[in-house]
């Protein structure tokens, strides 16, 4: 069973700062997902990665398959980026078995 | 609007009762996944259906069951409810069996058992 660890658990930063959230996992995967959850509950999929790097606006996600590690970066952070960011993995073990989630990083961006 | 519709958004019920949560997947998606998010356990996979058939089970209690209908909507049935079942229940859909195809999440149903 895959274990997914995220760090930090909580992060408070000032508007404009560069933010990095880390995720590591224990066994092989077919894909890694970064999700965003705002207060009030809804989950939005930000990125799906199986290799390399992806960029969308101010968000950048990278993955190193050999090191079993991924990072989510936010450039020029803004208070509207305040949310919980969750790393989740699709295992490459046989059979479709849903996502395994990290515990999330609670990010607060102060004006 | 993500395209995945979950109803109801909120549900308050008493211990011992039974409830049904509903999920309509994004148009064209054949797979439906159910997840539970609680304060102590975080997000956990419950069960997956693909084109009407159960394909995988996760940490789903025997008191819980689900099905996917011919129109591809899915229902999660929770019975003999306990206080600890209070949680957010999410549905996600995917084009195929989910692996590497990406997921679209619904906005969730918040269940409170009193």
SS3 labels along chain A: CCCEEEECCEEEEECCCCEEEEEEECCCEEEEEEEEECCCCCEEEEEEECCEEEEECCEEEEEECCCCEEEEEECCCCHHHCEEEEEEEEECCCCCCCEEECCCEEEEEEC
B40-98: pLDDT as tens digits: 889 999 999 999 999 989 989 999 999 999 999 999 999 999 999 999 999 999 987 65
| pLDDT at position A92 | 65
CB pairs under 8 A between A and B: 68
| pLDDT at position A94 | 47
Check pLDDT > 50 for residue B99.
Answer: yes
A10-44: pLDDT as tens digits: 999 999 999 999 999 998 888 999 999 998 778 99
Q: Are B43 and B35 in contact (CB under 8 A)?
A: yes
Chain A residue numbers with beta carbons less than 8 Å from the beta carbon of B39 are none
Q: How far apart are CA B25 and CA B74, in angstroms?
A: 8
CB contact under 8 A, A97 and B44: no
A37-64: pLDDT as tens digits: 998 778 999 999 999 999 999 999 999 9
Chain B residue numbers with beta carbons less than 8 Å from the beta carbon of A90 are 98-100
Q: How far apart are CA A79 and CA A108, in angstroms?
A: 7
How far does A103 lie from chain B, in Å, by closest CA?
Answer: 6
A70-88: pLDDT as tens digits: 999 999 999 999 999 999 9
CA distances from B20 to A9, B2, B67 (A): 33, 21, 11
B26-44: pLDDT as tens digits: 999 999 999 999 988 899 9
| DSSP label of B21 | E
CB contact under 8 A, B99 and A96: yes
């Amino acid at each position: 069973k895959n274990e997914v660890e995220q760090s930090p658990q909580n992060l408070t930063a000032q508007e404009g700062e560069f933010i990095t959230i880390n995720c590591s996992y224990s066994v092989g995967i077919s894909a890694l997902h970064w999700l965003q959850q705002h207060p009030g509950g809804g989950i939005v999929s930000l990125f799906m990665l199986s290799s390399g790097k992806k960029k969308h606006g101010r968000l950048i996600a990278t993955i190193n398959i050999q090191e079993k590690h991924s990072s989510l970066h936010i450039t020029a952070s803004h208070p509207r980026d305040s949310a919980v960011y969750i790393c989740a993995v699709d295992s490459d073990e046989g059979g479709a078995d849903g996502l395994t989630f990290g515990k999330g990083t609670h990010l607060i961006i102060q004006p | 609007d993500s395209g995945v519709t979950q109803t109801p958004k909120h549900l308050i019920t008493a211990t011992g009762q039974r409830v049904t949560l509903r999920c309509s997947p994004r148009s064209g998606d054949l797979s439906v996944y159910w997840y539970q998010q609680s304060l102590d356990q975080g997000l956990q996979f419950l069960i997956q259906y693909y084109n009407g058939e159960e394909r995988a089970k996760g940490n789903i209690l025997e008191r819980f069951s689900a099905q996917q209908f011919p129109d591809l909507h899915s229902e999660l049935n929770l019975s003999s409810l306990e206080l600890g079942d209070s949680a957010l229940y999410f549905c996600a859909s995917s084009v195929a069996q989910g692996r590497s195809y990406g997921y679209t999440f619904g906005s969730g149903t918040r269940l409170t058992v009193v």
